[in-house]
Amino acid sequence: MPEEKERMNQNSALHDLFMAILGGFAFLMLIFTPYIIGEPAANYPFYKGPEIFPIIILSIMTLSSLPAFYRLIRVKDKEKRWYLDGKGFPLLPLKILLTLIIVFLIGFIYIGLELACFLFFIAAMYLIGYRLWWKLILYPTIYTLFILVLFKYMLDIYFPEPLIFSLWGG
């Protein structure tokens, strides 16, 4: 059964596509390594310079992606199957991730840790299916307090002043 699943995943064109993307990226890096690292590398013999190791590993990366490139090109479009793991589109993780970026990360900079943490929790809990208003208030409040006590008061960490304050202050 696991072998069958493994074979199924190996056959997915999406896996080959990811491998090809990584391999393609490695190939580009390989070509441009001398330009990216630049002139200082020329001061050292190749065998002890900063380029030798990246060149070796990028070459291996490119070579190991060749079977994926081959499968992507050779296998006919009709025979190709595109799936991540057969468990459907990851809608909930995507929603939570976007909320994390928009509400928590950007919020962390603009409105500060406390508010960003509290709002993210309300939004995320709503997205995962919580609908009772008291739960939507209680858990984020407890968790935000826990984060505050742990980081601000126990570990004495300095968190940046919310940017929105300086915007208002001019």
Partner 1 sequence: MIEPSAFILGLRQALGFANIIALISGTIIGIIVGILPGMGPMVGMVILLPFSYYLPPTVALSLLLGIYCGGYFGGGIPAVLIRTPGVPSSIMTSLDGYPLTKKGEGQLALSATVVGSFSGGIISVLILILLAPIMAKVAVNFGPAEYFMVAVFGLVVMVMAHLGRIFQAILLTCLGLWFSTVGFDGQTMVVRFTFGTVMLRNGLEIAPMCLGFFGIGQSLLLLERQILETDDMSISLSSNNLDFSKVIYAFKHRLTLIKSGIIGTFVGILPGAGSILGSFLSYQEAKRSSRHPEKFGKGAPEGCMAAEAGNNAVPAGAMLPLLTLGIPGDPIAAILISIFIVNGIYPGPLLLIKEPELINSIYVSLFLVNIIGFILIIFFLRTFSMVVKFPNKLLAISIMVLCLVGLYTFNLRVFDMIVALVMGILGYLMLRMEWPFVTWVLGLVLGPIIEQRMRESLSLSRGNPAIFIQSPICITLLIASILVIVLPLLKKRTNKL
Point out which residues bind partner 1 (CB under 8 A): 3, 6, 9-10, 14-15, 18-19, 22-23, 26, 29, 36-38, 40-41, 43-50, 52-54, 57-58, 60-61, 64-65, 67-68, 84-85, 87, 90, 92-93, 96-97, 100-101, 104-105, 108-109, 113, 117, 120-121, 124-125, 128-129, 139, 143, 147, 151, 155, 157-160
Virtual CA dihedral for 87, 91, 96, 97, nearest 10 degrees? 80
Provide Rg for the chain, Cα atoms: 25
User: Could you say which DSSP state residue 42 is in?
Assistant: G
User: Which of residues 76 and 163 has its CB atom nearest to partner 1 in the complex?
Assistant: 163
State phi, psi for 12 to the nearest 5 degrees: -65, 130
Q: How far is it, in rounded angstroms, from Cα 88 to Cα 84?
A: 8
User: Which of residues 31 and 105 has its CB atom nearest to partner 1 in the complex?
Assistant: 105
Q: How far is the CB of 94 from partner 1 (least distance, A)?
A: 9
Tokens of 69: 């490139």
User: Which of residues 31 and 84 has its CB atom nearest to partner 1 in the complex?
Assistant: 84
User: Which of residues 137 and 143 has its CB atom nearest to partner 1 in the complex?
Assistant: 143
Q: How far is the CB of 137 from partner 1 (least distance, A)?
A: 15
Alpha carbon distances (Å) from 83 to 38, 80, 94, 113: 41, 10, 16, 38
User: Which of residues 31 and 38 has its CB atom nearest to partner 1 in the complex?
Assistant: 38
Q: How far is the CB of 47 from partner 1 (least distance, A)?
A: 4
Q: How far is it, in rounded angstroms, from Cα 9 to Cα 17?
A: 12
Closest CA to 75 of 23, 13, 9: 13
Q: How far is the CB of 170 from partner 1 (least distance, A)?
A: 23
Q: How far is the CB of 163 from partner 1 (least distance, A)?
A: 11
